[in-house]
Structure 1
Amino acid sequence: MFFVPRILRLFVVFTLAAALLPSAQAEVKVLASIKPLQLIAAAVQNGVGQPDVLLPPGASPHHYALRPSDVRKVAEADLLYWIGPDMEAFMAKPLQARGKPTVAVQNLPGLALRRFAEDAHSHEEDSDDHDHDHRPGSLDAHLWLASVNARVIAQRMATDLANADPANAARYQANAAAFSQRLDALDARIKARVAGVQGKPYFVFHEAFDYFEAAYGLHHAGVFAVAAEVQPGAQHVAAMRARLQEAGKTCVFSEPPVRPRLAETLTAGLPVKLAELDALGSFKNAPADGYETLLNNLADNLAGCLEAL
């Protein structure tokens, strides 16, 4: 009988002591709409937490349909980052019911933004085939493909995380600074990687790479902007093939996971290579250096195809 009261007394003492200790800060739940934003957040949260992403690999940010589980993620996230209505228009309505901090990164001060310009010589497209708004003067929302913009986004994330989790504020700021330094090295590496293919003509199926091209001295020769489910008419195909014949040896880049059905027909019998450029990042996880991998892969795939001609 002696041991029971003693054990109870010890239990009460330890329980009270634990209650008096400061509770550990719960991990801040960060949700990004698309993979590139998740990769930037992963660099900032490195060693503290792991951000989540809304869209699964291969999903289009232009016309995604939220599932019930996605709606719960949106409601529960402590911090949510999306590009904005010029990219993920489907998110505008669900976000109206959200009471926690939400950042449309396209509105951040300090970004180097681009707008689509009218260039009749470089486009072969049907207006009905566009899957989103590329009208002249509209915002080019693929802004994450410029490392200068990734720095701005990372710094905003570090500030938000420091406010939400003051105990780790110094770590978030240090991670953002380290990320910026790594991007300096990345920029130098990519400029050297693509230096030998600058001026070589190539074509894309989606005008998504202007930020990347502007940063590293590249420029596509044309955009075959056709939706994957639409088969253009014979006159349209003939016009696009004429552009490729004029270019000679060249590359035509599509984006994973689906290559447009038109690709094989368009390039049959021509000295043209088909390849992929992944603007969104098809990673199963979100490593701290994932954003650098995303841009490195773009440079390597683009230069590799053009060098092999």
Structure 2
Amino acid sequence: MFRLALAASLVSSGAALAEAPHVSTDILPVHSLASRVMAGVGSPDMLVDPGASPHGYALRPSQAAALQDSDAVIWVSDSLAPWLAAPLDTLAADAVRLELMDVAGATTHPYRAEAVFEGHDDPDDPDEQGHDEHAHDHSGLDPHGWLDPVNARVWLSEIAETLADIDPENADTYRANAEAGRAELAALIADVEARMAPLADQPFVVFHDAYQYFETRFGLNSAGAISLGDASQPSVARVAEILAIMVERGVVCVFSEPQFNPGLVATVAAGTDARTGVIDPIGRGLEPGAAFYPALIEQVANAFEACLSGT
């Protein structure tokens, strides 16, 4: 459905590629959302190579040049890519900036440093949504907000309005693309909700805490995370906490990630009845472009469904 709607928007748009503003994005999911909004007008650049960690990155010369030419820069948050602040100031000082976790109406969650998780707040609780538009200190913010597709729907509209301000001639196209993308994601959300509902009582453990937004949105039961972050090794005490909670809660699945050695996950799962699965928060291996984002959410849902249900 997404691909058909995208093809229709490309055919119906009369805008020329040469008229497109220069837009830079940080990671694949953001690149995909910007691509959806820009369909028929142009294509955004991506600053972080697919497969690279967004937490620490050095721009290649071609990426630095793209950033310098940018009319707009769209990224998740300073807390996800703290290294981006300096090149933004030096190379793209005049570009319009859109930090997605700062967008009004976006759901945010605090960073969880503990090994064991207690439960989730309601993602539709007004206290969990948005924040002071002048507050740019994201200390303690979990930056993996793209894994809540409700956030992605909010961001599509904000990206469209940002680009409409820069490029009024193509404003109608940006807004129409965003609305089509929002409708597509609404259907995807409904489908994932139906698939995840039977799995709500199945506890699991993840390699690192990247999935809070997906878990909370779809009511899944995460018991804890083996590692504090994707670049750190867990302490012996933390692993012991995870092993204890696996027994206490009857964890049915332990998830690794494709870019990390699965040996630690296998060790944690050994001697228990827990299955092991693989899940990727950033969609390495998926084709970049407008269809990437819904494919990522589908892939994450598939991984949860397969391991939690044992199918």
* TM tier relative to shorter chain: 0.7 to 0.9
Partner of 1:64: 57
CA gap of 1:190–1:73, structure 2 versus 1, over 3 A, is same
Partner of 2:245: 243
Partner of 1:82: 75
Q: What is the rounded CA distance, in whole Å, between the counterparts of 2:309 and 2:208 in structure 1?
A: 22
Listed one character per residue, the Cα deviations across residues 188-247 of structure 1 (whole Å, up to 9, x for unaligned) are 100111111111010011111111111111130111125667655655544433333334
CA gap of 1:225–1:24, structure 2 versus 1, over 3 A, is closer
CA gap of 1:113–1:234, structure 2 versus 1, over 3 A, is closer
Aligned-pair distance for 1:260? 4.7
- For residues 12-27 of structure 1, what are the structure 2 equivalents within 5 Å? 25-27=18-20
Aligned residue for 1:275, secondary structure, equals strand
Partner of 1:129: none
Partner of 2:203: 201
Question: Contact between 1:30 and 1:52, CA under 8 Å: does it hold in 2?
Answer: yes
Which segment drifts farther, 101-110 or 136-145? Answer: 136-145
Q: What is the rounded CA distance, in whole Å, between the counterparts of 2:77 and 2:117 in structure 1?
A: 27
CA gap of 1:76–1:284, structure 2 versus 1, over 3 A, is farther
RMSD: 2.6
Q: What is the rounded CA distance, in whole Å, between the counterparts of 2:230 and 2:265 in structure 1?
A: 10
Is residue 2:120 matched to residue 1:101? no
Q: What is the rounded CA distance, in whole Å, between the counterparts of 2:148 and 2:233 in structure 1?
A: 32
Partner of 2:220: 218
Partner of 1:286: 288
Question: Contact between 2:204 and 2:252, CA under 8 Å: does it hold in 1?
Answer: yes
CA gap of 1:292–1:236, structure 2 versus 1, over 3 A, is closer
Q: Which AA in structure 2 matches 1:35?
A: L
Listed one character per residue, the Cα deviations across residues 110-167 of structure 1 (whole Å, up to 9, x for unaligned) are 21222135766439xxxxxxxxxxxx97111111122222122111211222233333
Aligned-pair distance for 1:88? 0.4
CA gap of 1:285–1:165, structure 2 versus 1, over 3 A, is farther
CA gap of 1:29–1:305, structure 2 versus 1, over 3 A, is same
Q: What is the rounded CA distance, in whole Å, between the counterparts of 1:201 and 1:81 in structure 2?
A: 35
**Number of equivalenced pairs:** 275
Is residue 2:143 matched to residue 1:144? no
Normalising to structure 1: TM-score of the pair? 0.80
Partner of 1:158: 160
Partner of 1:172: 174
Q: What is the rounded CA distance, in whole Å, between the counterparts of 1:184 and 1:151 in structure 2?
A: 8
Listed one character per residue, the Cα deviations across residues 77-130 of structure 1 (whole Å, up to 9, x for unaligned) are 22211112111001111111122222222222221222135766439xxxxxxx
Q: What is the rounded CA distance, in whole Å, between the counterparts of 2:28 and 2:65 in structure 1?
A: 18
- Of 253, 256, 273 in structure 1, the residue corresponding to residue 255 of structure 2 is 253
Q: Which AA in structure 2 matches 1:82?
A: W
Which segment drifts farther, 144-153 or 203-212? Answer: 144-153
Q: What is the rounded CA distance, in whole Å, between the counterparts of 2:242 and 2:112 in structure 1?
A: 20
Q: What is the rounded CA distance, in whole Å, between the counterparts of 2:290 and 2:238 in structure 1?
A: 44
Aligned residue for 1:270, secondary structure, equals coil
Which segment drifts farther, 34-43 or 146-155? Answer: 146-155
The answer for unaligned runs of 5 or more in structure 1 is 1-22, 124-135
Q: What is the rounded CA distance, in whole Å, between the counterparts of 2:310 and 2:160 in structure 1?
A: 41
Q: What is the rounded CA distance, in whole Å, between the counterparts of 2:286 and 2:48 in structure 1?
A: 12
Which segment drifts farther, 261-270 or 172-181? Answer: 261-270
Partner of 1:15: none
Q: What is the rounded CA distance, in whole Å, between the counterparts of 2:237 and 2:292 in structure 1?
A: 42
Aligned-pair distance for 1:287? 3.3
Partner of 1:8: none
Aligned-pair distance for 1:284? 5.2
The answer for unaligned runs of 5 or more in structure 2 is 1-15, 119-137
Partner of 1:115: 110
Question: Contact between 1:58 and 1:256, CA under 8 Å: does it hold in 2?
Answer: no
Question: Contact between 1:63 and 1:88, CA under 8 Å: does it hold in 2?
Answer: yes
Aligned residue for 1:252, secondary structure, equals strand
Aligned residue for 2:202, secondary structure, equals coil
Mark the structure with the bigger radius of gyration.
1
Normalising to structure 2: TM-score of the pair? 0.79
